[in-house]
Amino acid sequence: MKSPILIVSFMVLFSCSKDKVIDNQAFTCTDEVLFAQEIEPLINQYCIGCHSAGSSSGGYNLEGHSNIANQSQQILGAMQADGFQLMPIGGPALNDTLIQRFRCWIEQGKLDN
């Protein structure tokens, strides 16, 4: 009897694909996100190569606090492919934890902390 195993496999597959749906409310920000320790290094690692003052792809320069803060909704939208083209361009998307830390930073007031 192999069919129960098949059914379970399908259930696992479906539950995994469901997890991919963006659910920002499911993640709560418990601690403070620090711009200097998390946000700027994140942008510098994954985005700055194509979005600096010298090379602002698509017109986006993401260097420094004010640029990141002023364009935070577009950045989050691009990280989640929500209303914007997925970034980093061509994927893969950043992991959910990094994206949610960025969202928490916005929610906490986009501080230069």
Contact call for residue 85 and ligand HEC (CB under 6 A): yes
Contact call for residue 88 and ligand HEC (CB under 6 A): yes
Contact string 90-109 vs ligand HEC (x = CB under 6 A): ----x---------------
* Whether 108 contacts 33, CB under 8 Å: yes
User: What separation in angstroms does the CA of 81 have from each of 24, 54, 74, 88?
Assistant: 13, 25, 10, 10
CA distance linking residue 112 with residue 34, whole number of Å: 8
Contact string 43-82 vs ligand HEC (x = CB under 6 A): ---xx-xxx-----xx-x-------------xx--xx---
CA distance linking residue 60 with residue 48, whole number of Å: 10
Q: Which residues lie near ligand HEC (CB under 6 A)?
A: 46-47, 49-51, 57-58, 60, 74-75, 78-79, 84-85, 87-89, 94
